[in-house]
Structure 1
Amino acid sequence: MSFKTPSELAQGACSVAVSKSRWSVVQMLILGIFAGAYIGFAGFLYTVVTHDLVGFAGVGFTKFLGGAVFSVGLMLVVIAGGELFTGNCMMPMGILSGCVTTGQVLRNWLWVYLANFLGSVLVAFLVFHSGLAAGPVGAHALKIAAGKMSLTFKEALVRGILCNWLVVLAVWMSMAATDVVGKIFAIFFPIMAFVASGFEHSIANMYFMFLGMLLKGSEKVAGLANIPEGKLAYVGWEGFFHNLIPVTIGNVIGGVFFVAILYFVVFKDKLKEN
């Protein structure tokens, strides 16, 4: 066949976990910054494309198109090269298979998560100072940030679970493809689905919320956004972590349990043979 089977993907996931566990700190920081930046680029593209589209195309198509363009972020990570915390939630399959240790996985997660944060806020900082978010695009970005920061803990947690179930499946499916076009299609549909559905991605949220915090200080942007004071008050560091903590926990649950653990249960006999 021109693609790998699910059992072959499980075997490949173990090999990937081993490779990722061997990165040096410098390699993880560089590749993690790249991945955070690529997700930030996708976030800005999403905002530009969707900021005024509802009035012309309706809510549903706007969500679809926003998800479609956002998928470029994971395409850059997988094809160009990057270390993305949410995608690396597949690594515990290597723990279960005995090819990596829990310490190695946690080491990767720690440095990659930190680097993703640096890359995402770097792009948010550059976008803010580019002047490209000084008008209606910025107002839309501020609305997005306020909406994320005002979610309840439970809402953020559950949306995080649903999100990374799909994101890790996108990475999983991309491993099945043997050519670049196949990888693009494997990534496109799950990422489009999670964004259009309104699920929550921790690394994307780092970008969206940090940009929102920068834009909140602009009277012009805040005026165009016309967000109620009660909701705008969430935009700040407290709101940042109010969202990021449950979303990150949810992302770990979604990727580790619903993909890594359950696929290991299905294919553990095949993995033992190897």
Structure 2
Amino acid sequence: MSYVAPKDFAIRMVDAGQAKALMSTRDTFIRAYMAGAILALAAAFAVTVSVQTGQPLVGAVLFPVGFCMLYLLGFDLLTGVFTLVPLAWLDKRPGVTGAAVLRNWGLVFLGNFAGALTTALLMAIVFTYGFSSPPSEVGQAIGVIGEGRTVGYAEHGAAGMLTLFVRGVLCNWMVSTGVVGAMMSDSLPGKVIAMWMPIMVFFYMGFEHSVVNMFLFPIGLMLGGDFTIGDYLLWNELPTVLGNLVGGLLFVGLVIYRTHLRTSPERALR
């Protein structure tokens, strides 16, 4: 499958981070918008499959189709730029400053949210026949997801917040591994296979993905979920974003950078 060695895809990671940090505002936003919209549609697809088959594993197996599509099209998720862009700053690439990193993160967050919100509105129309009928079975299931993953955490207080954060960390450990997976091969099948595996793991395990949640929770509110915007922000989105940042950068970006690109000297033979 035209496998690319770790040292070589580590260079690709830094190159990609530099390109994203220096990208124009327009292109950064458009690519983030489309990524958020496509991933949201994949989440709606996976929930639909899970509800209609009664088998969550089937939904998890099929969910990565959206992730693969958006990355093959060159679009960007917040979880991915959390991992890649800081490496260009750490590597002292020309033009990549701390401000450039934060600018990229902010634009991608806004673009992802706008795209996910657009899909949420469109799917809410589909699930309710233009808000003229009660939500369908799938729509009701989505509303329950929003309640369980906001109020459900809040019921446990600090322990719930810790659990939410850790699920965000574990999520982007897997998702960013998928992002890197696209760089591990020069063939289309190789890229898809490498991306598919970790994304399936994250979705089936119920880890918290900030961009998927930008879809699930707004549509849950549109469909009558019993939680508030404040619940969503405090007891899901903000801790999830922080967990995604830590998971992707610490367990994927920095690890690969330090051990495959900035290696320590070899031990002398004795």
Q: 2:174 aligns with which of 142, 155, 166?
A: 166
Match for residue 208 of structure 1? 216
The offset of 1:269, in angstroms, is 3.2
Of residues 203-212 and 260-269 in structure 1, the stretch that sits farther from structure 2 once superposed is 260-269
**Cα displacement string for residues 56-109 of structure 1 (whole angstroms, at most 9, x for unaligned residues):** xxxxxx232221121122112211221111011222122221113222111110
Counterpart CA distance in 2 for 1:121 and 1:85 is: 15
Counterpart CA distance in 2 for 1:103 and 1:33 is: 21
Counterpart CA distance in 1 for 2:37 and 2:262 is: 39
Provide the aligned C-alpha RMSD in A.
1.7
Counterpart CA distance in 2 for 1:140 and 1:70 is: 17
Match for residue 49 of structure 1? 49
Match for residue 148 of structure 1? 149
1:194 aligns with 2:195: no
1:94 aligns with 2:88: yes
Match for residue 83 of structure 1? 76
Counterpart CA distance in 2 for 1:40 and 1:197 is: 18
Unaligned runs of 5+ in 1: 55-61, 217-221, 223-231
1:2 aligns with 2:2: yes
Counterpart CA distance in 2 for 1:131 and 1:53 is: 17
Counterpart CA distance in 1 for 2:147 and 2:193 is: 32
Matched AA of 2:184: A
Counterpart CA distance in 1 for 2:13 and 2:2 is: 18
Match for residue 229 of structure 1? none
The offset of 1:132, in angstroms, is 5.9
Counterpart CA distance in 1 for 2:44 and 2:209 is: 15
**Cα displacement string for residues 184-215 of structure 1 (whole angstroms, at most 9, x for unaligned residues):** 11111100000111100000001000000000
1:185 aligns with 2:197: no
Identity of paired residues, percent? Answer: 30
Counterpart CA distance in 2 for 1:132 and 1:71 is: 26
**Cα displacement string for residues 37-56 of structure 1 (whole angstroms, at most 9, x for unaligned residues):** 011111110111011433xx
Match for residue 137 of structure 1? 138
- Equivalenced residue count is 248
Q: Describe the shift of the 1:132–1:182 C-alpha distance in structure 2 as closer, same or farther (beyond 3 A).
A: farther
Matched AA of 1:85: L
Match for residue 74 of structure 1? 67
Match for residue 229 of structure 2? 237
Q: 2:99 aligns with which of 94, 99, 103?
A: 103
Counterpart CA distance in 2 for 1:167 and 1:132 is: 32
Matched AA of 1:215: L
TM-score, with structure 1 as normaliser: 0.86
Verify the 8 A CA contact 1:63 1:197 in the aligned structure 2.
no
Verify the 8 A CA contact 2:167 2:207 in the aligned structure 1.
yes
Verify the 8 A CA contact 1:128 1:211 in the aligned structure 2.
yes
What secondary structure, in the 3-state scheme, does the structure 1 residue paired with 2:262 have? helix
Verify the 8 A CA contact 2:49 2:59 in the aligned structure 1.
yes
Of residues 145-154 and 157-166 in structure 1, the stretch that sits farther from structure 2 once superposed is 145-154
Match for residue 255 of structure 2? 262
Matched AA of 1:240: Y
Counterpart CA distance in 1 for 2:137 and 2:252 is: 39
1:117 aligns with 2:113: yes
Verify the 8 A CA contact 1:10 1:264 in the aligned structure 2.
yes
Verify the 8 A CA contact 2:183 2:191 in the aligned structure 1.
yes
Verify the 8 A CA contact 1:63 1:195 in the aligned structure 2.
no
What secondary structure, in the 3-state scheme, does the structure 1 residue paired with 2:75 have? coil
